[in-house]
Chain A
Amino acid sequence: MIVAGCDVGSLTTKAVILNNKRILSQAIISSGFKPEESAREVMATALSFAGLSTDDIQYCVGTGYGRERIPFVSTALSEIACHAKGAHWLLPTARTVIDIGGQDCKAMKLDAQGNVVRFFTNDKCAAGTGRFLEVMANILGFDLDELGKVSLQAKDPLSLASTCTAWAQAEVIHHLNAKRTKSDIASAVNQAMAARVAILARSVGIEKDVCMTGGVAKNAGVVSALERLLDVKIRRLRIDPQLVGALGAAVHARQKIGG
């Protein structure tokens, strides 16, 4: 039973192909202006990695902001349902999932079957989203992965007075001009991000196990700051957290055809 999930996000497009309970292949590309083209490209890449053709896919579920414009999917589901399902597939004990994507942030509470029972989203403000980190990393001259690693080396961590992306940007520039170390500033950035996300996560009610999905889950600084703020261990998932939405879509696809 070969199924697929395709997640067209605002910044990246992802695809996962499943054969029963095994991930056959996966792919991530940057999202273009046309969701349908990004979807076709990422799926072609994933199919080629697996040595398959489109005809081999029995069912495909689409998700992400571009889900309604993916031409080859059988069903489109919300990214909330897909991230929840994907996280639960990887970690069946997961009851709280925090997903931080490029332009939004979601906290979800799951039941034992991986269904969403409650969720909260922030999709109106860049604070608390991947975009916030991207802007700050750019000013500091890091890529996103480095921002996390460097922040863990902070000796005298700073704090940011505002989580507004525009104001925080000005504050980071001020700290740079004041010759503060980049690791201390990076720590402040991750801490500010985590503080914002923690509010959303608390709104849904933290229940163990907690895990994170989305690109920001790769930032060790944010994860570590969130663990402190929420006073809970955040369980790491065994695949790239950016792929969890596409994986969840594939798991839904499997369930749709009775798998």
Chain B
Amino acid sequence: MRMPTKTMRLFDDLLESPQNTLVEQASQDGRIPIGYSCAIVPEPLIMADRLFPVRLHATGVTGTEMADNYLSSFVCSYTRSLLEFAMDDRYEYIQGWVFVPSCAHMQRLIDNLEYLRKPAFSHVIDVPRKVNDVTIAWMVEELSMLAENLSSHFSVDLGDESLSRAIAEWNSFTEIVRSVGELRKRTHPPLTGTEFHTMLMSTLASPKDLIIPKILDFKQEVQQRGSPVDYRARLMLVGGHLHDPGFIRIIESQGGLVVADRFCTGSIPGLMPIEMNGDPIRNLAEHSFRKTLCPRMMEEFHRRVESIIETAREYKVDGVVIEIIKFCDLWGVDAMPLITALRKQGIPVLKLEREYRLGSEGQLRTRVQAFIESMGT
């Protein structure tokens, strides 16, 4: 087993608690952490001026006893875990919340937060479920309202110039992360999927400017490695929210190297650069839909499938693992035709239902091992 590098240990530490050392450092410098829950929220908008984005996560959650009192038993464990952390004051440092009612479960989280822990600043972006010219205009209006509200509540500059600077900064950040991610295209990648995801999750949980030097350090460490990662099969991971790198670690313990990701907290296609031409809010609105391949969006199934197939070919994957959090209606429904469509293309598929918190490791190992064995690799 490869020993974790110095930066990897740092990334692990950053994921131990939502209020990590980089978040604390930025907060002490007078900057304002804004929590958000969905990939559709454009990060650059909450990166401008003194704001910085923190993707809401509850890694390390050990139970949801408090949240269980308020949420139905059919609400997913991701939503449940976020509410648990909120009720346990684990997000106390967050000064503003930006939500998208991505699904009915997330809407229940928003309702309960309002009821139980009313935040000083909370904003819900009403995101359409179809993409066309009218939708973009609607989204521009929604993002403009968010910018106005943030600006007046926190006295921050979210004018065009400030937003353009934030977009440029975000583009530089994603370029660096993409350059690390592309190392996974190699026949013998120098890093594991677990390492890549740990790094990526750390970037979502920390201020971008403070974590960029750490990513560059990690990239250098990885490039200087003597031996590539050993594996039996190259896998692509597809699905909804996946925060805990431990899930990928288990998959990789069976010889399945995760070389590509297409999930809410992954890098493909979420980290594609934002085109900068004219109105930054419009650029953000267009980008939000371009980079998001969420089953909440109607009439886009074909684009979602095409993107997975294209990525699978680009990263030369042997099989696709679809991970779905139990009770996730959106992914639960999308997975069925998705599995059929991928198998029609000759791509082996394994569907894994899981909880937000890592568990049932033995069963997970058996399924992944059997999947890899069935591919004959």
Contact = CB atoms under 8 A, between A and B. Distances in A.
A124 B353 CA distance: 10
Contact of B374 (A68, A79, A119): A119
A115 interface: yes
A78 B366 contact: yes
Contacts of B366: 65, 78-80, 121, 123
A104 B370 CA distance: 15
Contact of B363 (A77, A81, A115, A124): A124
Main DSSP-derived SS at the B contact region: helix
B363 A78 contact: no
B370 A123 contact: no
Given A65-B366, A121-B367, A78 B360 contact: no
B343 to A, nearest CB: 9
B363 A116 contact: no
A117 interface: yes
B376 to A, nearest CB: 7
Contacts of B376: 115
14 contacts: A65-B366, A77-B369, A78-B367, A79-B366, A80-B370, A80-B374, A81-B373, A81-B374, A115-B374, A115-B376, A116-B370, A117-B374, A121-B363, A121-B366
A118 B374 contact: yes
Given A77-B369, A79-B366, A116 B360 contact: no
Interface in A39-80: 65, 68, 77-80
Nearest to B368: A78
A116 B367 contact: no
Contacts of B373: 77-78, 80-81, 116
Nearest to A77: B373
A121 B374 CA distance: 14
A118 B367 CA distance: 11
Contact of A104 (B363, B365, B369, B374): B363
B362 interface: yes
**Nearest 10 CB-CB pairs, A to B?**
A80-B370, A78-B370, A78-B369, A123-B363, A116-B374, A81-B373, A78-B366, A65-B362, A78-B373, A81-B370
A123 B374 CA distance: 19
Interface of A: 65, 68, 77-81, 104, 115-119, 121, 123-124
Contacts of A116: 370, 373-374
Nearest to B359: A124
A121 B363 CA distance: 9
Nearest to A116: B374
A78 B363 CA distance: 10
Contacts of A79: 366, 370
A104 B366 CA distance: 11
A40 to B, nearest CB: 20
B252 to A, nearest CB: 14
Contacts of A118: 374
B374 A124 contact: no
A219 B274 CA distance: 62
A119 B372 CA distance: 12
B370 A119 contact: yes
Given A68-B365, A79-B370, 9 more contacts: A77-B369, A78-B373, A80-B370, A80-B373, A81-B374, A123-B360, A123-B363, A123-B366, A124-B360
A216 B370 CA distance: 22
Contacts of B363: 104, 121, 123-124
B235 to A, nearest CB: 16
B319 to A, nearest CB: 12
Contacts of A119: 370, 374
A78 B353 CA distance: 19
A175 B226 CA distance: 68
A118 to B, nearest CB: 7
Interface in B332-377: 353, 360, 362-363, 365-367, 369-370, 373-374, 376
Contacts of A77: 369, 373
